[in-house]
Amino acid sequence: MLLPSDFPIFENVEMSAISSTYALVRKDIQSELRTRYALNALLMFVVTSVATILFALRSDQPTSTVLSGMYWVVVFFTAMSSLSRIFVSEEERGTTMTLQLVASPSVVYFGKLMFNTVLTLSLTLAVTVLYMIVFSAFFKIETVSIFIITVILGSLGFASAATIIAAIVAKANTRGTLYPVLSFPILIVLLITVMNATAKSLDGEPLSAAMGDFQVLVGYILAMTGGSYLLFEYVWKD
Protein backbone atom coordinates (compact mmCIF):
# COMPACT_ATOMS: atom_id res chain seq x y z
CA MET A 1 0.00 0.00 0.00
CA LEU A 2 1.46 3.30 -1.07
CA LEU A 3 0.93 6.32 1.12
CA PRO A 4 1.34 9.92 0.04
CA SER A 5 4.13 10.27 2.61
CA ASP A 6 6.16 7.71 0.67
CA PHE A 7 6.87 10.24 -1.98
CA PRO A 8 9.11 13.23 -1.43
CA ILE A 9 7.01 15.15 -3.96
CA PHE A 10 4.25 15.59 -1.39
CA GLU A 11 6.42 16.83 1.43
CA ASN A 12 7.67 20.03 -0.03
CA VAL A 13 5.45 21.62 -2.64
CA GLU A 14 7.73 24.64 -3.00
CA MET A 15 10.22 22.89 -5.25
CA SER A 16 11.75 23.98 -8.50
CA ALA A 17 10.37 22.52 -11.72
CA ILE A 18 13.44 20.36 -12.28
CA SER A 19 13.56 18.84 -8.81
CA SER A 20 9.82 18.13 -8.80
CA THR A 21 10.07 16.52 -12.24
CA TYR A 22 12.88 14.38 -10.84
CA ALA A 23 10.76 13.53 -7.79
CA LEU A 24 7.88 12.50 -10.06
CA VAL A 25 10.11 10.22 -12.15
CA ARG A 26 11.56 8.72 -8.96
CA LYS A 27 8.07 8.10 -7.61
CA ASP A 28 7.04 6.37 -10.86
CA ILE A 29 10.19 4.25 -10.97
CA GLN A 30 9.79 3.30 -7.31
CA SER A 31 6.17 2.26 -7.66
CA GLU A 32 7.06 0.39 -10.86
CA LEU A 33 9.88 -1.49 -9.13
CA ARG A 34 7.52 -2.47 -6.32
CA THR A 35 4.93 -4.07 -8.55
CA ARG A 36 7.05 -4.67 -11.68
CA TYR A 37 3.77 -4.79 -13.57
CA ALA A 38 4.89 -2.93 -16.72
CA LEU A 39 8.40 -4.43 -16.76
CA ASN A 40 7.21 -8.03 -16.51
CA ALA A 41 4.45 -7.56 -19.07
CA LEU A 42 6.91 -5.84 -21.38
CA LEU A 43 9.51 -8.58 -21.13
CA MET A 44 6.99 -11.37 -21.68
CA PHE A 45 5.54 -9.51 -24.65
CA VAL A 46 8.99 -9.17 -26.24
CA VAL A 47 9.78 -12.85 -25.73
CA THR A 48 6.38 -13.93 -27.08
CA SER A 49 6.54 -11.81 -30.21
CA VAL A 50 10.14 -12.68 -31.04
CA ALA A 51 9.25 -16.37 -30.60
CA THR A 52 6.32 -15.89 -33.00
CA ILE A 53 8.67 -14.36 -35.57
CA LEU A 54 11.01 -17.34 -35.15
CA PHE A 55 8.13 -19.79 -35.75
CA ALA A 56 7.06 -17.83 -38.81
CA LEU A 57 10.53 -17.67 -40.34
CA ARG A 58 11.53 -21.28 -39.56
CA SER A 59 14.85 -21.72 -41.32
CA ASP A 60 14.44 -18.93 -43.88
CA GLN A 61 17.15 -16.30 -44.14
CA PRO A 62 15.54 -12.93 -43.46
CA THR A 63 16.91 -9.87 -45.25
CA SER A 64 17.99 -6.74 -43.40
CA THR A 65 14.77 -4.95 -44.41
CA VAL A 66 12.63 -7.73 -42.95
CA LEU A 67 14.70 -7.89 -39.76
CA SER A 68 14.63 -4.13 -39.14
CA GLY A 69 10.91 -4.09 -39.91
CA MET A 70 10.25 -6.94 -37.47
CA TYR A 71 12.42 -5.24 -34.87
CA TRP A 72 10.28 -2.11 -34.83
CA VAL A 73 7.03 -4.06 -35.11
CA VAL A 74 7.97 -5.82 -31.86
CA VAL A 75 8.93 -2.48 -30.27
CA PHE A 76 5.70 -0.84 -31.46
CA PHE A 77 3.30 -3.47 -30.15
CA THR A 78 5.18 -3.95 -26.89
CA ALA A 79 5.17 -0.20 -26.33
CA MET A 80 1.45 -0.09 -27.11
CA SER A 81 0.81 -2.75 -24.49
CA SER A 82 2.61 -0.93 -21.70
CA LEU A 83 3.20 2.80 -22.26
CA SER A 84 -0.40 3.83 -21.53
CA ARG A 85 0.00 2.46 -17.96
CA ILE A 86 1.65 5.72 -16.98
CA PHE A 87 -1.63 7.66 -16.90
CA VAL A 88 -4.13 4.82 -16.73
CA SER A 89 -2.61 3.61 -13.44
CA GLU A 90 -3.04 7.09 -11.94
CA GLU A 91 -6.70 7.03 -12.96
CA GLU A 92 -7.22 3.51 -11.60
CA ARG A 93 -5.57 4.24 -8.27
CA GLY A 94 -7.47 7.51 -8.05
CA THR A 95 -4.31 9.55 -7.60
CA THR A 96 -4.91 11.89 -10.53
CA MET A 97 -6.47 14.60 -8.35
CA THR A 98 -3.58 14.55 -5.89
CA LEU A 99 -1.07 14.86 -8.68
CA GLN A 100 -3.03 17.76 -10.15
CA LEU A 101 -2.87 19.51 -6.77
CA VAL A 102 0.81 19.08 -6.03
CA ALA A 103 2.45 19.46 -9.43
CA SER A 104 2.01 21.79 -12.38
CA PRO A 105 0.92 20.22 -15.70
CA SER A 106 4.29 20.81 -17.37
CA VAL A 107 6.07 19.03 -14.49
CA VAL A 108 3.68 16.07 -14.79
CA TYR A 109 4.12 15.97 -18.56
CA PHE A 110 7.91 16.01 -18.53
CA GLY A 111 8.07 13.57 -15.63
CA LYS A 112 5.85 11.08 -17.43
CA LEU A 113 7.73 11.66 -20.68
CA MET A 114 11.04 10.85 -18.99
CA PHE A 115 9.65 7.70 -17.40
CA ASN A 116 8.23 6.54 -20.73
CA THR A 117 11.57 7.28 -22.42
CA VAL A 118 13.38 5.13 -19.84
CA LEU A 119 10.81 2.37 -20.36
CA THR A 120 11.13 2.50 -24.17
CA LEU A 121 14.93 2.52 -24.00
CA SER A 122 14.96 -0.56 -21.77
CA LEU A 123 12.48 -2.15 -24.14
CA THR A 124 14.69 -1.55 -27.20
CA LEU A 125 17.66 -2.84 -25.22
CA ALA A 126 15.77 -6.05 -24.42
CA VAL A 127 14.71 -6.52 -28.05
CA THR A 128 18.26 -5.86 -29.30
CA VAL A 129 19.82 -8.37 -26.90
CA LEU A 130 17.21 -11.00 -27.73
CA TYR A 131 17.64 -10.38 -31.46
CA MET A 132 21.42 -10.76 -31.17
CA ILE A 133 20.96 -14.12 -29.46
CA VAL A 134 18.26 -15.69 -31.65
CA PHE A 135 19.20 -14.13 -35.00
CA SER A 136 22.95 -14.20 -34.41
CA ALA A 137 23.54 -15.33 -37.99
CA PHE A 138 21.59 -12.51 -39.70
CA PHE A 139 21.23 -9.62 -37.24
CA LYS A 140 24.71 -8.16 -37.63
CA ILE A 141 24.92 -4.45 -36.88
CA GLU A 142 27.52 -3.25 -39.38
CA THR A 143 27.33 0.49 -38.60
CA VAL A 144 27.01 0.65 -34.83
CA SER A 145 26.82 4.46 -34.72
CA ILE A 146 23.70 4.57 -36.93
CA PHE A 147 22.07 1.85 -34.88
CA ILE A 148 22.70 3.50 -31.49
CA ILE A 149 21.56 6.96 -32.65
CA THR A 150 18.46 5.47 -34.32
CA VAL A 151 17.49 3.51 -31.22
CA ILE A 152 17.95 6.52 -28.90
CA LEU A 153 16.12 9.00 -31.17
CA GLY A 154 13.48 6.40 -31.98
CA SER A 155 12.83 5.73 -28.29
CA LEU A 156 12.55 9.46 -27.59
CA GLY A 157 10.15 9.90 -30.49
CA PHE A 158 8.08 6.88 -29.42
CA ALA A 159 7.84 8.20 -25.87
CA SER A 160 6.98 11.76 -26.95
CA ALA A 161 4.02 10.64 -29.06
CA ALA A 162 2.96 7.82 -26.73
CA THR A 163 2.82 10.03 -23.64
CA ILE A 164 0.28 12.55 -24.92
CA ILE A 165 -1.84 9.78 -26.46
CA ALA A 166 -1.70 7.93 -23.12
CA ALA A 167 -2.96 11.07 -21.39
CA ILE A 168 -5.88 11.23 -23.86
CA VAL A 169 -6.66 7.52 -23.59
CA ALA A 170 -6.65 7.60 -19.77
CA LYS A 171 -9.68 9.91 -19.91
CA ALA A 172 -11.63 7.67 -22.33
CA ASN A 173 -13.63 4.50 -21.62
CA THR A 174 -12.17 1.74 -23.81
CA ARG A 175 -8.50 2.29 -23.02
CA GLY A 176 -6.84 -0.94 -24.04
CA THR A 177 -8.09 -1.12 -27.61
CA LEU A 178 -8.11 2.61 -28.23
CA TYR A 179 -4.42 3.17 -27.49
CA PRO A 180 -2.83 1.50 -30.56
CA VAL A 181 -5.66 2.83 -32.75
CA LEU A 182 -4.90 6.42 -31.77
CA SER A 183 -1.12 6.00 -31.72
CA PHE A 184 -0.49 4.29 -35.04
CA PRO A 185 -1.38 7.22 -37.38
CA ILE A 186 0.79 9.52 -35.24
CA LEU A 187 3.73 7.10 -35.08
CA ILE A 188 3.75 6.02 -38.71
CA VAL A 189 6.23 8.73 -39.82
CA LEU A 190 8.55 7.69 -37.02
CA LEU A 191 8.16 3.96 -37.82
CA ILE A 192 8.97 4.42 -41.52
CA THR A 193 12.04 6.52 -40.68
CA VAL A 194 13.50 4.26 -37.98
CA MET A 195 12.93 1.13 -40.09
CA ASN A 196 14.75 2.87 -42.94
CA ALA A 197 17.69 3.89 -40.72
CA THR A 198 17.94 0.48 -39.00
CA ALA A 199 18.09 -1.28 -42.37
CA LYS A 200 20.96 1.07 -43.30
CA SER A 201 22.87 0.15 -40.16
CA LEU A 202 22.44 -3.57 -40.92
CA ASP A 203 23.58 -3.06 -44.51
CA GLY A 204 26.74 -1.33 -43.33
CA GLU A 205 26.15 2.05 -44.93
CA PRO A 206 28.27 4.97 -43.65
CA LEU A 207 26.96 7.30 -40.94
CA SER A 208 26.46 10.13 -43.44
CA ALA A 209 23.88 8.04 -45.34
CA ALA A 210 21.46 8.19 -42.41
CA MET A 211 21.74 11.95 -41.77
CA GLY A 212 18.43 12.67 -43.52
CA ASP A 213 16.66 10.14 -41.32
CA PHE A 214 18.15 11.67 -38.17
CA GLN A 215 16.97 15.13 -39.21
CA VAL A 216 13.43 13.81 -39.66
CA LEU A 217 13.62 12.11 -36.25
CA VAL A 218 14.89 15.22 -34.45
CA GLY A 219 12.25 17.37 -36.15
CA TYR A 220 9.56 14.87 -35.19
CA ILE A 221 10.68 14.74 -31.54
CA LEU A 222 10.81 18.55 -31.25
CA ALA A 223 7.43 19.07 -32.94
CA MET A 224 5.74 16.33 -30.94
CA THR A 225 7.20 17.31 -27.56
CA GLY A 226 6.48 21.00 -28.13
CA GLY A 227 2.92 20.35 -29.26
CA SER A 228 2.24 17.95 -26.39
CA TYR A 229 3.69 20.41 -23.87
CA LEU A 230 1.31 23.13 -25.07
CA LEU A 231 -1.73 20.84 -25.23
CA PHE A 232 -1.16 18.67 -22.17
CA GLU A 233 -2.85 21.09 -19.77
CA TYR A 234 -6.18 20.79 -21.63
CA VAL A 235 -6.14 17.01 -21.35
CA TRP A 236 -4.84 16.84 -17.81
CA LYS A 237 -7.14 19.34 -16.11
CA ASP A 238 -10.74 18.13 -15.94
CB of 6 to another protein, least distance (A): 31
Residue (of 228, 100, 101) closest to 167 by Cα position: 228
User: 37 or 184, CB closer to another protein?
Assistant: 184
User: 42 or 167, CB closer to another protein?
Assistant: 167
User: 107 or 168, CB closer to another protein?
Assistant: 168
User: How far is the CA of 210 from the CAs of 123, 124, 155, 163, in angstroms?
Assistant: 23, 19, 17, 27
Contacts with another protein by CB under 8 A lie at 161, 164-165, 168, 171-174, 178, 181-182, 184-186, 188-189, 192-193, 196, 212-213, 216, 219-220, 223-224, 227-228, 231, 234-235, 238
CB of 20 to another protein, least distance (A): 24
User: 9 or 182, CB closer to another protein?
Assistant: 182
CB of 39 to another protein, least distance (A): 27
User: 28 or 213, CB closer to another protein?
Assistant: 213
CB of 195 to another protein, least distance (A): 11
User: 123 or 167, CB closer to another protein?
Assistant: 167
User: How far is the CA of 145 from the CAs of 43, 118, 125, in angstroms?
Assistant: 26, 20, 15
CB of 14 to another protein, least distance (A): 30
CB of 236 to another protein, least distance (A): 10
